[in-house]
Amino acid sequence: MIASKPQRLYRGITWHAGRWLVKLRHRGLDVTIGHYERPEDAAWAADFARYLLLGLNPRCWGPKVVRPNFPPSDREEADRAQVLRRLFRGHVSIDLIARHLGEYDAAARANREGSAG
């Protein structure tokens, strides 16, 4: 019996080879972020990569880019490092990532402090 394809609950991820795939297009090149067992992890990775490429304001992302699943949030360093490595391999500008990473971290801190208080 062939297992059925799971229902996609998040934007920007697809089911591929028994796991959730995150793949983005940047300046005409496909950048594969990775495969994930859990859809929540894949959706977070897709959002993090898009935030780093396009900035924090989803209204400026353009009509062909899917909207984020989650607001900026803290994740383990290993999760962040995997996405960053894949973006660098995809020839994404370090300056662009550095600028947006600072914005992302500030927003994640604000979200964490806002939910704690």
Measured CA to CA in angstroms, residue 7 lies from 10, 30, 40, 41 at distances of 9, 24, 13, 15
Q: Where are the domains of the chain?
A: 14-116
pLDDT band at 3 (very low <50, low <70, confident <90, very high): low
The whole-number pLDDT of residue 117 equals 57
Cβ neighbours of 21 (radius 10 Å): 16
Looking at residue 93, its pLDDT comes to 87
Global pTM reads: 0.86
SS (HEC) of 96-111:
HHHHHHHHHHHHHHHH
Instruction: Give the whole-angstrom CA distance, residue 87 versus residue 94.
Output: 9
Confidence check: pLDDT of 87 > 70? yes
Structure tokens at 101: 């990473």
